[in-house]
Amino acid sequence: MAWEELIDKHAGTLAQAIAAVRERTFYAHWAEIPSGKIYGEDANEKGRHRFESLLNKPFRELLQVHDGAWVGREESPYGFPLGIEYPQISVATAVERAQRAQQQWRRLSARQRAAILIEALEQTAAEFFPLAYATMHTTGQGFVMAFQASGPHAFDRALEAVATGVVALEYFAGEALWRKSFGKGEIVLHKRFVTVPKGLGAVIGCSTFPLWNALPGVFANLVTGNGCLWKPHPLAMLPVALFVARFQQVLDALGVDPHVLVFLPCTPEEPLTWEVVEHPAVRIVDYTGGPAFGAELERRLGGKVVFTEKAGVNSVLVHSVSNLGAALENLAFSLCLYSGQMCTAPQNIIAPEEGIETPEGKLSVAAFAERLVSAIDALVQNPKAGPPTLGAIQSERTLQRVRQAEALGLPVLRGSASLSHPDFPHARTATPVLLEARWQEDRAFYGREWFGPIAFLVRAPDAEQALAEMVHLVQTVGALVTAVYTTDEHFKERAIASITEAGAPVALNFVGPVWINQSAAYSDFHGAGVNAAGSASFTDLAYVSARFGIVHVREIVRAE
């Protein structure tokens, strides 16, 4: 297929994505419901069979060289080993091949690269169901969440990065005729402005969202002309391998060197991260993971472009509510979703000692806590909704963290327990623990991140001091999201001003099927990039424009 034909084929999709990026309205290119009516009646069954066919054997679908052993030790959080091994490629070889591929890739125009990337996404979307099972059995997500997080939602974030990249690359004119008068004379220059990629990008994946968190960086690198090394978490490699294999196959069929995107298998003993990110040829680094390691990356990688999505302390302030039941259901679901294993999960629920205004009158903090525990219990104990909502615990370390939280000595409003899964009797599970904390006195506990199904109910003297505490946490440890429940317009505006000035997004009075945990492609900026929770923002202009530079060429046309 000629490049112009491919550009024409995907011109409509790109135009829609660019419009959505600019207007910030709802847009979804891929349907988020794993429905047989949308994807084919046998799509789910075929996807499950494809996943099962990959188990207990070497993964041989990648179109990249390998020069090492076969590695892999993934285990499903639902209770069984995957038994899959992947062909290793050394960092030196990966860099050499990606640099060679980048020479061809960078010479393509922005529209050509965008068309190729959209074609790759469209063809790789055929793997939505295998990707869902691969994600479910490496991360512990429930099936529907895994389908969305590694399928439509992740792919829309990738398309968003492509669209934003095209906007950035085409923002300035590519050439201009420049005239300037000098007395009676005039000088005329012909100027060309050449976008130049910064160099190889390295995307360091995480264990809980191997595609959703990585694809924005991968596609931001690629659309701006950079080759990319994708280093997944050693316990969540299968979703990445599936994606990269199909992606490389599409590029190869189009006559593009598939090594423009290289998959780097690794082991827990040799995770390769430092070797990759400190390689001189790697000029751009995207990292998702823990705050301590992310901060060390930022410190050590001076001179490189570094985007981090670490984690902060996400807080919810409950001042007053118009519908207590709906607010509690929303909060309970947010606390239970994927057992709190999301960087956007709420951790602290701050309530004023003076009570919470409701249509039925003022509710004490103790009564609010009882109602919240009841709402959590109602979801957890629902045999149809509980297990798929909570999913499984990705890491044994998260279970240990739950036990550590319960042993802090704080009042336990709701204890954690394992949850029986109807389909996977050996699944690693834990229901949410809710602890009571005193304002400021217990800040050493609630003032740091507790990844997993762990939350604190923080009693503040009044609403103003509750707001001040939330702002303090944003300013000191950061937050990816915050939420405020209030029916008071003046308090709402003060909260918006204070929290946004501190650099965190605000969700107001969320009820129904929209939760602070979730981030909508093309509309929500995931991570503001201006507080301690991370330097990345999916997907603003800075996220893509930092990956290339503009070099100008000036030629005299006339000087007289």
Other residues' Cβ atoms within 10 Å of the Cβ of residue 551: 10
According to the model, what pLDDT value does residue 499 have? 97
Q: What SS3 class is residue 439? A: coil
Long-range contacts of 33-42 (CB under 8 A, 24+ apart): 34/128, 34/129, 34/132, 34/143, 34/144, 34/147, 34/151, 39/128, 39/129
Q: What residues does CATH 3.40.309.10 cover in the chain?
A: 315-508
- Per-residue DSSP letter, 517: T
According to the model, what pLDDT value does residue 409 have? 96
Q: Give Cα separations from 524 to 22, 309, 438, 496, 537 (angstroms).
A: 12, 15, 33, 16, 10
Q: Give Cα separations from 440 to 139, 247, 333, 402, 472 (angstroms).
A: 34, 50, 27, 22, 10
200-204 and 80-81 beta bridge pairing: unpaired
Q: List beta partners, residue 318.
A: 485
Q: What SS3 class is residue 534? A: strand
Q: CA 370, CA 353: separation in Å to the nearest integer?
A: 15
Q: Are residues 515 and 462 in contact, defined by beta-carbon separation less than 8 angstroms?
A: no
Q: Are residues 451 and 393 in contact, defined by beta-carbon separation less than 8 angstroms?
A: no
Dump pLDDT digits (tens) for 513-525: 999 999 999 999 9
- DSSP H or E segment with residue 245: helix 238-253
Q: What residues does CATH 3.40.605.10 cover in the chain?
A: 3-310+536-551
Other residues' Cβ atoms within 10 Å of the Cβ of residue 381: 11
Which position has the token pair 């259901």? 329
According to the model, what pLDDT value does residue 1 have? 60
Torsion 462-466-468-472 (CA) sign: positive
DSSP 319-338: SB-S-HHHHHHHHHHHHHGG
- Per-residue DSSP letter, 64: S
What would you report as the CA-atom Rg of the chain, rounded to the nearest whole angstrom? 25
Q: CA 401, CA 522: separation in Å to the nearest integer?
A: 35
Dump pLDDT digits (tens) for 236-291: 999 999 999 999 999 999 999 999 999 999 999 999 999 999 999 999 999 999 88
Q: CA 448, CA 437: separation in Å to the nearest integer?
A: 13
The first and second tokens of residue 200, run together, are 């190889």
Dump pLDDT digits (tens) for 429-440: 999 999 999 999
Using 70 as the pLDDT threshold, list the residues of the chain that sit under it: 1
Q: Give Cα separations from 504 to 266, 470, 498, 510, 526 (angstroms).
A: 34, 10, 9, 16, 10
Dump pLDDT digits (tens) for 144-153: 999 999 999 9
Q: CA 233, CA 243: separation in Å to the nearest integer?
A: 15
Which CATH number, 3.90.1150.10, 2.40.160.40, 3.40.50.300, 3.40.309.10, labels domain 315-508? 3.40.309.10
Q: Are residues 10 and 115 in contact, defined by beta-carbon separation less than 8 angstroms?
A: yes
- Per-residue DSSP letter, 127: G
Q: CA 178, CA 187: separation in Å to the nearest integer?
A: 8
Q: Where are the alpha helices (H) located in 394-502, listed in sequence order?
A: 396-406, 443-446, 463-476, 489-502
Dump pLDDT digits (tens) for 50-62: 999 999 999 999 9
- Architecture of 3-310+536-551 per CATH? 3-Layer(aba) Sandwich (3.40)
Three state DSSP letters for 42-59: CHHHHHHHHHHHHCCCEC
> By CB neighbour count within 10 A (0-12 exposed, 13-18 middle, 19+ buried), where does 366 fall?
middle
Q: CA 315, CA 471: separation in Å to the nearest integer?
A: 9
Q: CA 302, CA 289: separation in Å to the nearest integer?
A: 19
Q: CA 198, CA 195: separation in Å to the nearest integer?
A: 10
Residue 240: closest CA among 266, 222, 221: 266
Residue 203: closest CA among 105, 141, 289: 289
Residue 232: closest CA among 261, 260, 200, 256: 261
What separation, in Å, do the N-terminal and C-terminal C-alpha atoms of the chain show? 48
